[in-house]
Amino acid sequence: MADHIPFPVADGDSRPFWEGIAQHKLLIQRCENCQRHIFYPRSLCPYCFSDTLSWVEASGKGTIYSYTVVHQAYGPFAAQVPFVVAIVELAEGVRMMTRIAGAGPASVRIGMPVRVVFEQADENVTLPYFQLAEE
């Protein structure tokens, strides 16, 4: 069993996202045809099927769209319970599944403002989490 949580594997579509995270930038895609923001990373716009997508830096601000509290976990996650897994809606309109860092489950509510934080998981891997923010 690994002594750390599973790390993401960057592929062709997601590599720019993870390279941005390593530089503490939250990058999302924007369609050059219909101008909509897109997340998760992909090669075609899900709205107009254009393949002219560019990468833009998101504000890092969002709100908690939904969340759950993990009370039971195994392996490297077992020592971290309880923790909050949330779907955050970014100011740009896309939704992102993430962990809420630095806040106990009792202090998290739907609709709360959050902002991205970057956690160094090991010497090579940085992960994007969110923490509660002031309005």
The contact set with Zn ion (CB under 5 A) reads 31, 33-34, 45, 47-48, 50
- For residue 29, the minimal CB distance to Zn ion (Å) is 10
Closest to Zn ion by CB, 7 vs 47, is 47
Closest to Zn ion by CB, 76 vs 93, is 93
Distance between CA atoms of 31 and 44, rounded to whole angstroms?
9
Distance between CA atoms of 63 and 51, rounded to whole angstroms?
29
Closest to Zn ion by CB, 33 vs 126, is 33
- For residue 94, the minimal CB distance to Zn ion (Å) is 13
**Is residue 97 within 8 Å of residue 65, measured between CB atoms?**
no
Q: Residue 53's closest CA among 25, 31, 78?
A: 31
- For residue 44, the minimal CB distance to Zn ion (Å) is 9
Q: What are phi and psi of 106, to 5 degrees?
A: -70, -20
